[in-house]
Structure 1
Amino acid sequence: MSTTLADVIGGEDVLAADGRTSSLIDPVTGEQTGTATVSGAAEVEAAMQAAATAFATWRKATPAQRQDALLAIADGLAARAEEVADVECRETGKPRAVVLGEEIPMCVDTLRFFAGAARHLEGKAAAEYLDGHTSWIRREPVGVCAQITPWNYPLMMAVWKIGPALAAGNTVVLKPAETTPGSTVLLARIAATALPAGVLNVVLGDRDTGRLIVEHPVPRLVSITGSTRAGIQVARSASTDLKRLHLELGGNAPVLVFDDADIPAAAEGIIAGAFLNAGQDCTAGNRVIAHSSIHDALVAELTARAAKQRTGLPADADADFGPLNNADQLQRVLGLLERLPAHATVHTGGHRVGEAGYFVAPTVISGLKADDEIVREEIFAPILTVQSFETEAEAVALANGVDQGLAASVWTRDHARALRMSADLDFGAVWLNGHGALASEMPHGGFKHSGYGKDLSAYSLEDYTRVKHVMSAIG
């Protein structure tokens, strides 16, 4: 029996007909741990046909039946949490305690939320909006959905994708990131015990595989979580067939700290929000914008706390975060550090940790300007940059002066100021005196180059439906 990780199509394991595979690399060691199939046109076609066939019946499943299926998947995921964590940690290098204690429980909660949401579709009340006619609204599934997930949260992003899609009655062809397919394949196998064959299909592969599922004529909606560059490419490909898009793209979150903020509390929250998952988080609060009067004190507090952060192996219970995901990301981040301008000051970190794997030291950099590369680019690493401001208007200008618009936070004791900032900041999520907390009931999604569409919440479920007006003559 082959040890190569296979597609899951129509509930069955399928290897690429041409035998192509890619290597799976442990980011802790940089060594190969296995191989995964690389799907081509034949496998994508088979997945699309399986999804299209299954849609004919799954779309007619009652909300209660969809709820039961999603609850069964959630229960299956919870029951196999240890096994899922093994796979997730092997491909991401994350601390096992974080995966088991935080990520998998949230995935289970999200599936259970969408199980409930499946039974609560909303629309305008049926009424006579035109004399002699009764109108009502039908919310219907879109159809087959093509979905692409990233490597930073492989399992969680797969759950965020399939939860609303399946709850709304759609079927799915999902491609995980090439470096982290394992937990998504395991999720599909768990789901196969609860879903009719073909409702959830997973195809593995590279960018070419992703392009094939985006350009295939069957899907009516394409959803991707990834970089802005990838989102633009997907939007360009999908436009030729007028497919609907759901884009959750890069972030570059500003953290505004005002002169009345509780500095130790702010520093603690900023460190947690910036270094979680080695900074590989679209909402990572890595771009600190501090009032000039507390700038130096905040930098000192951030530096002291960052210096105590520890990288480590998945089994290390004391590790705060693990490695970057892959060699390309490591080289990109090291390049940003090597190209720092002369006016920047590195207070701690700024270098790779060790020779094996893809670890980067927790880093704090001050003295930066708005047009510096490391400020304008999404870093996706355990690196904090700090800028200074004098007025509220300047703080808002610095915060909004990037292409991305996913998330931001404000640290102040002044309630009126907090409300002004939450209105003025051009970001899809704004935290006040905190950073990064999520709830399944609340939407997650951004503006500008961070894309459009919402994950989580009833808003996400709506994104995976289409609205039909039905009017009946009654007179």
Structure 2
Amino acid sequence: MLRNYINGEFREAADGRTLDVIDPCTGEVYDTSALSGAADVDAAMEAAAAAFPAWRDATPAARQKVLLRVADVFEDRAAELITAESRDTGKPLAQMADDEIPPVVDQIRFFAGAARLLEGRSAGEYLEGLTSIIRREPVGVVAQVAPWNYPLMMAVWKFAPALAAGNTVVLKPSDTTPASTVLVAGIIGEVLAELGHPAGVFNVVCGDRETGRLMVEHPTPAMAAITGSVRAGMQVAASAAKDVKRVHLELGGKAPAVVFGDADLAGAAEGIAAAGYFNSGQDCTAATRVLVHESVHDAFMTELVKAATGTVTGLPEDPRTVYGPLNNAGQLSQVSGFIDRLPGHAKIEAGGHRVGDQGYFYAPTVVSGLRQDDEIIQNEVFGPVITVQSFTTEDQAVEYANGVDFALASSVWTKDHARAMRMSKRLDFGCVWINTHGALAAEMPHGGFKLSGYGKDLSAYGFEDYTRVKHVMTAL
């Protein structure tokens, strides 16, 4: 059984309730996790609040040492983390080892370094006889909710900057993917104990949406941070408003990939397919919405269909597997529903069906002939489905790209540098990639606009989101 981790101890839910944890490759129960209620949330918040003064007052170097040690243990125990994550998500084992563990470790180390840069921007005399000082301080206890698409990586994006800044944490993983987060809790707890810090600095509470609601509405946290759906983000923002908690939201996406006539079509198709199908398309930045110039539409479509049909979905241990199953039965139903409801003018160029009769596998799919107001263009599918529209002018490309409610990520594919620069200015998205899609660096911010939320993950901007600014003025 996967248990909560509160104040340095693994605990079952106070009332003994549990949730089934499903293997998405088979659709069968493989374990259970704690289904936490108000008593469990109270205990976790109490532990985090009690630990906060000592952790806040620890030197930046001491907090850095903890995070660096955690990163080292992640490397040493990578096989355990990969196994836990893959069992919950069906992710390919080789892909986890190559594409997720290294950046996760790097991101922890980045924030370990950031811990020692918690400083004000200036000090000086702005009124006669008075000196002003700016202090950057941790906000306090932070309630965090991680999603099921990247359970391990999103947990790191949450706890690493929060702990580096001096906050204490209560983190809830998704009810469908708790395994790697529970393992992480044990690792962090061991490091905190080893280095002499309070056990309540980091806590994990497993549970469902109700558990998350209890965390956000709890009076103890000064901040709530979530990566999840737009609906969940709206609920968190509304709940947090009751006592004016700070809120950090990374929500949905509908990333356009704009392909101009001068682009390397084979390279663009390969890059877009890789970014669209990675993690079964369950990625808010996935290249799911292609806008291609009409002059190269057919040629590009040939290349994209070739890339799609060459993409293998299968079991985690199969070295040929590019992506595994969708995360859960509900997600399989959602993706299938978008395809079942396609309008008559749409054409399925590849895929468009479930794979096998066990688990939640879905074929790499390409859909063409779509219009801007079609449901599948306007709403997030969150599956291995890439749509294709054509455009005639740069202005129309911008209109189509920006003509959705999401604004997280986008890409432009062209050999024309001036056009790329114009498009990067005009595209209303938090990230614009040029001739690539999906690359992330710990030093660069990740976050969107509009319904994609607000606040930044990664980078110094993400670190600062977990701090507050205080002005101190003293008479000379």
TM-score when normalising by structure 2:
0.98
Question: What stretches of structure 1 of length at least 5 have no aligned partner?
Answer: none
SS in 2 for 1:470: strand
Q: Which residue of 2 aligns with 1:272?
A: 274
1:310 aligns with 2:312: yes
Structure 1 position 124, deviation (Å): 2.4
SS in 2 for 1:169: coil
1:283 aligns with 2:277: no
Alignment of 1:40-55 (within 5 A): 40-55=37-52
1:414 aligns with 2:411: no
Q: Which residue of 1 aligns with 2:88?
A: 91
1:129 aligns with 2:129: no
Task: State the distance in 2 between where 1:216 and 1:162 align.
Answer: 19
Q: Which residue of 2 aligns with 1:359?
A: 361
Task: State the distance in 2 between where 1:297 and 1:120 align.
Answer: 50
1:154 aligns with 2:156: no
Structure 1 position 175, deviation (Å): 0.4
Task: State the distance in 1 between where 2:322 and 2:83 align.
Answer: 18
Task: State the distance in 2 between where 1:39 and 1:263 align.
Answer: 50
1:462 aligns with 2:459: no
- The counterpart of 2:171, out of the listed 162, 170, 174, is 174
1:21 aligns with 2:31: no
Q: Which residue of 2 aligns with 1:225?
A: 227
Q: Which residue of 2 aligns with 1:74?
A: 71
Task: State the distance in 2 between where 1:305 and 1:84 align.
Answer: 30
Task: State the distance in 2 between where 1:17 and 1:146 align.
Answer: 19
Q: Which amino acid aligns with 1:247?
A: L
Alignment of 1:197-346 (within 5 A): 197-346=199-348
Task: State the distance in 2 between where 1:467 and 1:347 align.
Answer: 53
Structure 1 position 56, deviation (Å): 1.3
Task: State the distance in 2 between where 1:17 and 1:445 align.
Answer: 36
Task: State the distance in 1 between where 2:255 and 2:237 align.
Answer: 23
Structure 1 position 171, deviation (Å): 0.2
Task: State the distance in 1 between where 2:123 and 2:226 align.
Answer: 35
Q: Which amino acid aligns with 2:382?
A: F
1:257-288 CA distance string (max 9 Å, x none): 00110101101110111000010011001000
> Does the 8 A contact of 2:119 with 2:135 survive in 1?
no
- The counterpart of 2:61, out of the listed 50, 61, 64, is 64
Q: Which amino acid aligns with 1:253?
A: A
Structure 1 position 70, deviation (Å): 0.3
Structure 1 position 122, deviation (Å): 3.8
Task: State the distance in 2 between where 1:43 and 1:17 align.
Answer: 6
Structure 1 position 24, deviation (Å): 0.5
1:119 aligns with 2:116: yes
- The counterpart of 1:190, out of the listed 187, 194, 204, is 187
Equivalenced residues, count: 471
RMSD: 0.6
Q: Which amino acid aligns with 2:107?
A: T
Structure 1 position 305, deviation (Å): 1.1
Q: Which residue of 2 aligns with 1:402?
A: 404
- The counterpart of 1:36, out of the listed 29, 33, 37, is 33
The runs of at least 4 aligned residues of structure 1 exceeding 6 Å deviation read: none
Structure 1 position 123, deviation (Å): 2.5
1:139 aligns with 2:141: no
Task: State the distance in 2 between where 1:216 and 1:34 align.
Answer: 29
Q: Which residue of 1 aligns with 2:384?
A: 382
1:305-341 CA distance string (max 9 Å, x none): 1001111111011101000000000001111110000
Q: Which amino acid aligns with 2:227?
A: T
> Does the 8 A contact of 2:352 with 2:365 survive in 1?
yes
Task: State the distance in 1 between where 2:22 and 2:295 align.
Answer: 46
Task: State the distance in 2 between where 1:305 and 1:242 align.
Answer: 48
SS in 1 for 2:472: strand
Q: Which amino acid aligns with 1:380?
A: F
SS in 1 for 2:425: helix
- The counterpart of 2:9, out of the listed 5, 9, 12, is 12
Question: What stretches of structure 2 of length at least 5 have no aligned partner?
Answer: 193-197
Task: State the distance in 2 between where 1:75 and 1:464 align.
Answer: 24
Structure 1 position 193, deviation (Å): 1.5
